[in-house]
Amino acid sequence: MMVRPMRESDIETVARIERDSFAHPWSRVAFLNELHKPYAHNYIIDINTPQSSDKIGGYACFHTIAGEMHLLKIAVIPAVRRQGIAEHLLRQCLQEAYDMRISAAFLEVRPSNRAAVNLYKKFGFDVIAVRPNYYSENSGQSEDAMIMRINLKRR
Which residues of the chain form contacts with ligand COA (CB under 6 A)? 21, 74-76, 81-87, 109, 113-116, 118-119, 122
Please report how close the Cβ of residue 99 comes to ligand COA at its closest, in angstroms.
Answer: 21
Residue type for position 153: K
The DSSP line for 82-112 is SSSHHHHHHHHHHHHHHHTT--EEEEEE-TT
Nearest to 110 by CA among 141, 67, 65: 141
Please report how close the Cβ of residue 93 comes to ligand COA at its closest, in angstroms.
Answer: 12
Contact 11, 51 (CB under 8 A): no
In the complex with ligand COA, the residue whose CB is nearer, 38 or 50, is 50
In the complex with ligand COA, the residue whose CB is nearer, 56 or 75, is 75
In the complex with ligand COA, the residue whose CB is nearer, 36 or 133, is 133
Torsion sign over Cα 47, 123, 74, 41: negative
Report the alpha-carbon angle 69-23-57, nearest 5.
Answer: 60
Nearest to 40 by CA among 29, 31, 52, 27: 31
In the complex with ligand COA, the residue whose CB is nearer, 28 or 110, is 110
In the complex with ligand COA, the residue whose CB is nearer, 38 or 104, is 104
Q: What are phi and psi of 82, to 5 degrees?
A: 65, 30
Please report how close the Cβ of residue 140 comes to ligand COA at its closest, in angstroms.
Answer: 22
Please report how close the Cβ of residue 25 comes to ligand COA at its closest, in angstroms.
Answer: 10
Please report how close the Cβ of residue 109 comes to ligand COA at its closest, in angstroms.
Answer: 4
